[in-house]
Amino acid sequence: MDEFSMIYEEWTSCKTVKPEKDFTAKELILLAEMKYPEEGCKEKDEKFDFLYDKALAVHQKIAMMLYAKNKFLKAKKDYESTQNMDAPALYGMGKTELLFYFESMIVFARNALDVASFVYSDLFFDQRIDSFNKFMKKVKKSEAPFLEDLKQYYIKAEEEEMFALRMLCGSEKGRALRDIIVHQANVHMEYYEYKANSEKEHLFLEIKDAAPIDIDFFMSHFTQDVIEILEMTNQYCKGKRMLKDN
């Protein structure tokens, strides 16, 4: 069993939460092998080992993101079972537990993108960039034809109000969830009526200068968005490597 599979094998014994498995980060190893094939060259071997360690870290971050997501959903279900959902109140350790898992999911998601940027910046630009924001800006400024499709993907993804790329790496002041958590305060959650004339209330995420977001809707797509960002970047990176090899 390889190191990537072992991460999930270890956690499948968890009785309360079993996160879905994802191996998107493993593709980074195949991309690194395309650039640094095994040739007995010490310098190339060291560069490959560096990228391998980063890819494994991305894999671990994704696993932690998925684990935190599932723990949040379970904690939310358990908390709401104690509430009158006609007029629920978010407070105390119940609120603390929800914030803990939600903010952990956000931080691990952004961390996965940042660590992946080490690999992408090496494969695309022969550089080491430790921020996905910086990597993305470099892609968008590039005039290289092979980056045009990836550039357009990032631009379009940033324009989508609810897409994870905008949530995690948004350039608008006060909008990036990771920056709110790390540099400003806790994320804000509150219960509201989720549709007109409804007797039941839903938990909503509040972000500056945006309409409240139903947490159930947010959780239904956020982690898959993060994985899609990595998958799409992998795809364009593979195309670039194959174009160069030919």
Task: Give which of 233, 19, 4, 23 is closest to 116, Cα–Cα.
Answer: 233
* Confidence band for 246, pLDDT divided at 50, 70 and 90: very low
State pLDDT tens for residues 151-167.
999 999 988 888 898 88
Across 212-234, average pLDDT: 94
Across 46-60, average pLDDT: 94
- Burial class of residue 13 (count of CB atoms within 10 Å of its CB; 0-12, 13-18, 19+): exposed
φ, ψ of residue 2 to 5 degrees: the values are -80, 170
* Confidence band for 59, pLDDT divided at 50, 70 and 90: very high
Tell me if 62 sits within 8 A of 25, measured CB to CB. Answer: yes
* Alpha-carbon torsion (80, 83, 88, 94), positive or negative: negative
What's the pLDDT score for residue 221? 94
Q: Which of 39-53, 68-82, 218-232 has the lowest mean pLDDT?
A: 39-53
Residue 224 CA to its chain's centroid (Å): 8
φ, ψ of residue 6 to 5 degrees: the values are -60, -30
Work out the percent of the chain whose per-residue pLDDT is above 90.
53
Residue found by looking up tokens 């990032």 in the block: 154
Residue 33 CA to its chain's centroid (Å): 24
Helix residue ranges, H only, the chain: 3-11, 26-35, 42-80, 92-125, 132-141, 148-159, 164-169, 177-179, 215-245
pLDDT of 228 higher than 80: yes
State pLDDT tens for residues 168-220.
886 554 457 766 766 667 788 899 887 777 778 899 988 776 788 899 999 99
How far is it, in rounded angstroms, from Cα 174 to Cα 167?
Answer: 10
Task: Give which of 177, 184, 164 is closest to 232, Cα–Cα.
Answer: 164
State pLDDT tens for residues 206-219.
877 678 889 999 99
* Confidence band for 18, pLDDT divided at 50, 70 and 90: low
Name every residue whose Cβ is closer than 8 Å to that of residue 208 and which is 6 or more positions away in sequence: 174, 175
Angle, helices 42-80 vs 3-11, to 10°: value is 20
**CB 35: neighbour CB atoms within 10 A?**
19
What's the pLDDT score for residue 217? 93
What's the pLDDT score for residue 12? 53
pLDDT of 1 higher than 90: no
Per-residue burial over 216-227, b if 16 or more Cβ lie within 10 Å, else e, is: eebbeebbebbb
Tell me which of 118 and 173 has the higher pLDDT.
118
Token code pair at residue 176: 């990036």
Tell me if 67 sits within 8 A of 19, measured CB to CB. Answer: yes
What's the pLDDT score for residue 174? 46
How far is it, in rounded angstroms, from Cα 128 to Cα 131?
Answer: 9
pLDDT averaged over every residue in the chain: 85
